[in-house]
Structure 1
Amino acid sequence: MRPHPILGAIPPYPSRRAVLLSVTALGGMLWLINLGYNRPLFIDEANVARNLFDRSYAELFQPLDHAQYAPPLYLVLTKILGELFGYRELVLRLPAFAGGLLAVCALWRAGIHLRLGYFTAVPLLLLFVNPAALRYVTELKPYGLDLGVGAGLLVLGIVTSIATSRRQLIMWTIAGMVAPWLSLPAVFVLAAVGLRGLYHDRRWVFPIVAWLLSFGLLYFTVLRPSVGSGYLNSFHQDYFLPWPDTLAALEQFGRIGWGLMRLTFGVTAVALIWGALLLVVGWLPRPRHAWLLLPLGIVLVVSGLRYYSLIDRLMLFALPGLWLIAGLAAQRLWRKSSRVTRAGLVVLTLIALDGSHSLRYFRQPITFSDGAKLAEAAKEGAYRVHPLAEPVVDYYLRIHPVTSEKGQASVRKPYGVYGSGEEHWLYDVLTAPRPNQDLRRDSIGAAERGCRVDSEPLYRARILVIRCP
């Protein structure tokens, strides 16, 4: 390399640190834009907020109301923030966002330990552009924290030496006892780490026993009422992995596997082909890293027993292992490729990384409902709220530190009761069949009674202004 007369020696490529910092800065900007957009809470988020507001800290260690589940320590942390800074949207979403930041730090540290160099950017980019990760690190649900805790435990397993010291065993004992109370899927990562450790050192039996006792307490105090319930079985029916003994089961097995690939790498054909190539290349030459996929294998077995759903949001914890395998494979392909092949790999990677079209969220942040506007309409006079709109309206009229200060004099009529004068009928979650059917039925019914019906469409919500004689 010929030195520049003023600048001195100029490296042919930017430094690894500069590349990773640039990736992290751009990805962090995407996340911050969506967090700062402060989209209104939607039905499940509002139901979690209602539990947080209505319960004491001790009651958060009991099964939740409104068909919700969240780990007790996650709820305690979120309630502390709500009590200190108000139960506003951004504040309540901070624990999930912290989980996303933990995942970033964990993948960076894993890249250093695995000597990925520049290719640490591969798992980082897959994390930042993943639409499920982007949604749940900016949402009042525990899934963003699941991602961070899962990544953190996996990376601790990577950096823990095979010749485990007594200090490391104590650290793992404490971490493993606490983790499931903060993130339920942590048990699958702990199982993988524990099996790997036990294979090399019998002393791992002591932390494993402590983990089982801690999880047993969590199961019998919080989880048992929900596991195997009719609601769980009906809602998640299509997301349990069946034993492949019939053609229908094989079809469902293939559909779930296809869904996991789309969740991991994207929805476009280029992204899926690129991801499949990396998984195959990453698996074959690196058997010592195959244990990174063990959490996924364990959860597949548990799902086959109908104890865990494979719906996208519950699988975020397993993605860091897949992304690290992809980074190892990309590094191997690069080292064995010619200059022309490398150029093709770069182009293919850049196309594949927008496999879920997440870059559009720089200019159009994620949103799901105009629930806050429903509450504003309720303040203007008598209102009637559809059951699926009830959680959001209740949150904004009773809990939110700004909007709850007004509108308490509004008269709410029970759903299904008709009155006279002007009323606002509020509907939400219009992506589901039931509220759409009820909306059409109520509109027709009010018109048949001689009422004037005006409709104000919102994003996945609607306000009917009913004026009856």
Structure 2
Amino acid sequence: MPILQGLSRPVDLTPLLDRVFDVIARRPLTVCACLGAALRIWVYLQGRSYWMDEGSLLGNLRDRAAFDFSGPLTSDQLAPPAFLAAERIVISLLGSSPYATRLIPLACGLASLVIFRALVKRLLSPSTAVLAMVLFAFSDDLTYYSNELKPYSSDVASALLITLLSLNELRDAPSSSRRAGLAILATASPWISFPAAFVVAGCGLALLLDRVRRGRRRDAAELLALAAVWAASVLVAHRISSRLLGPATSMYVFWNFAFPPFPPRSRADVAQAIGIVLETFVTPLNLTPRMLSYFFALFALVILVQGSLRLARRDAGALAMLVLPMALAFAASVVRRYPFHGRLILWLAPACFIMIAEGVQHVRRHRGFAWCVAVLAFLVVYPTWDTLHEAVPPHTREFNRHGDLRRNRFME
């Protein structure tokens, strides 16, 4: 029969495979972003049950007016006012199922892929940008928190957008529309994301120093005026957010382990501070497997430092925009205002991935191809495998006592 004869013919997949390889070769960043988006959507469609923190926050969203910030949130919960309002509106329209309430985190996770692609395309060489994109797209923490009813994913998206617009302002010809957009975003950021204050301050300081160095006094004056408006917005947002935190909260007791002792008075204090720094390579970067934890963490730290030095030689202003927010967040942790740990510093992951990718390029340039392949194996194989493993249902998370996705390795 003609139909059976047609079905029995061998299928030549060569043209299709050639087409796929051609797309990958021509647009690797887009392919990575699409794979990352597919991974996040796959996890979202599983519709896993709420865990404790999500359920506690959900209790402050249902049956509440969108802009009701008059009293403390229950169960020691806290979130930016704009995030609370947006989630309450979603719940009033679509209900309180995980598919509805996680729409905003998912949208932020998908938007982050697009923004990060644009950022690395401007900041890094093509091969280095691809590595940074792989680390970002297949990050376990970035994937997971794109599907959790908490503001961590919006923290990442806000930080990336502020950094990208600031980098454009630093490098490109003056544009009134871009500057207006940056001003609006900076002023609104305290209402959208708490750690955005560090990003705006860090990027703004980098821009200001650049304008002063170049003798562009008018631009510097405009930045200072914008800083005053932003500071007023931060003050008002902080006062409203403070009302959301009950007077008997145990939040600072819960996060007490994440504040480095200052000044350190003993070896234990120094060890705690070092542990807080190294722990970032466990959560949220997930570059440290259970075996040889110190080796992997120190190795990743060396690569990151090498990458930052390489980037400093090429573009000190861009490096400042990546590093200053980290420094400000750590300083806030030293004075016990912001815990430097885990999901609360998820927004630092993109900058770390950029510097790590730049560090790998340093290894390739000075150590050769074989060393570069070995470094890539250390940095890519375990994190990618772990992310894909965790994304396969019905795998369930075993949170540690601090609510992290994995156990701490360098601190209690």
TM-score, structure 2 as length reference: 0.79
Superposition deviation, residue 192 in structure 1: 0.7
Larger radius of gyration: 1
**C-alpha spacing 1:167/1:103, structure 2 compared with 1 (3 Å):** same
Superposition deviation, residue 20 in structure 1: 2.5
- 1:206 matched to 2:215? The reply is no
Q: Give the Cα separation in 2 of the matches to 1:348 and 1:231.
A: 39
Contact 1:62 1:222 in 2 (8 A): no
- 1:309 matched to 2:339? The reply is yes
Contact 2:128 2:358 in 1 (8 A): yes
Contact 1:228 1:307 in 2 (8 A): no
Which string of whole-angstrom CA distances, capped at 9 and with x for unpartnered residues, describes residues 313-352 of structure 1?
A: 1101111111111222233433445444444444444435
Superposition deviation, residue 123 in structure 1: 2.3
The two structures, once aligned, show a CA RMSD in angstroms of 3.0
Given candidates 64, 72, 86, the residue that maps to 2:95 is: 86
- 1:266 matched to 2:287? The reply is yes
Matches within 5 A, 1:51-200: 51-60=60-69, 62-161=71-170, 164-200=174-210
Superposition deviation, residue 366 in structure 1: 5.4
Contact 1:82 1:92 in 2 (8 A): yes
Give the equivalent residue in structure 1 for 2:309.
284
Contact 2:132 2:353 in 1 (8 A): yes
Q: Which runs of 5+ in 2 are unaligned?
A: 1-14, 212-219, 403-412
- 1:218 matched to 2:227? The reply is no
- 1:251 matched to 2:271? The reply is yes
Give the equivalent residue in structure 2 for 1:21.
30
Q: Identity rate of aligned residues, in percent?
A: 22
**C-alpha spacing 1:237/1:160, structure 2 compared with 1 (3 Å):** same
Superposition deviation, residue 204 in structure 1: 0.7
Contact 2:112 2:157 in 1 (8 A): yes
Give the equivalent residue in structure 2 for 1:237.
256
SS in 2 for 1:261: coil
Superposition deviation, residue 368 in structure 1: 5.1
Superposition deviation, residue 14 in structure 1: 7.0
SS in 2 for 1:58: coil
Q: Point out the more displaced range, 314-323 or 51-60.
A: 51-60
Q: Give the Cα separation in 2 of the matches to 1:227 and 1:294.
A: 31
Q: Give the Cα separation in 1 of the matches to 2:247 and 2:89.
A: 31
Q: Give the Cα separation in 2 of the matches to 1:343 and 1:133.
A: 25
Q: Which has the higher contact order (CA 8 A, sep 6+)?
A: 2
- By percentage of residues, which structure has more helix? 2
- By percentage of residues, which structure has more strand? 1
**C-alpha spacing 1:339/1:45, structure 2 compared with 1 (3 Å):** closer
Superposition deviation, residue 60 in structure 1: 4.1
SS in 2 for 1:262: coil
Q: Which runs of 5+ in 1 are unaligned?
A: 1-5, 370-428, 434-469
Q: Give the Cα separation in 2 of the matches to 1:368 and 1:349.
A: 23
Contact 1:61 1:72 in 2 (8 A): no
Given candidates 40, 51, 69, the residue that maps to 1:31 is: 40
Q: Give the Cα separation in 2 of the matches to 1:274 and 1:351.
A: 15
SS in 2 for 1:40: coil
Matches within 5 A, 1:387-406: none
SS in 1 for 2:310: coil
Q: Give the Cα separation in 1 of the matches to 2:184 and 2:356.
A: 31
Superposition deviation, residue 227 in structure 1: 9.4
Given candidates 315, 321, 330, the residue that maps to 2:351 is: 321
Residue type of the partner of 1:309? Answer: P
Contact 2:155 2:195 in 1 (8 A): yes
**C-alpha spacing 1:432/1:204, structure 2 compared with 1 (3 Å):** closer
Given candidates 53, 58, 62, the residue that maps to 1:49 is: 58
Residue type of the partner of 2:310? Answer: P
Q: Give the Cα separation in 2 of the matches to 1:51 and 1:343.
A: 49
Q: Give the Cα separation in 2 of the matches to 1:77 and 1:135.
A: 20
Contact 1:63 1:225 in 2 (8 A): yes
Contact 2:261 2:273 in 1 (8 A): yes
Superposition deviation, residue 45 in structure 1: 1.1
Q: Give the Cα separation in 1 of the matches to 2:132 and 2:69.
A: 35
Q: Give the Cα separation in 2 of the matches to 1:285 and 1:150.
A: 23
Matches within 5 A, 1:367-446: 367=396
Contact 2:112 2:156 in 1 (8 A): yes
Q: Give the Cα separation in 1 of the matches to 2:177 and 2:122.
A: 20
Q: Point out the more displaced range, 23-32 or 173-182.
A: 23-32
Superposition deviation, residue 95 in structure 1: 0.9
Q: Give the Cα separation in 1 of the matches to 2:382 and 2:397.
A: 26
SS in 2 for 1:211: helix
Q: Give the Cα separation in 1 of the matches to 2:299 and 2:22.
A: 24
Q: Point out the more displaced range, 333-342 or 312-321.
A: 333-342
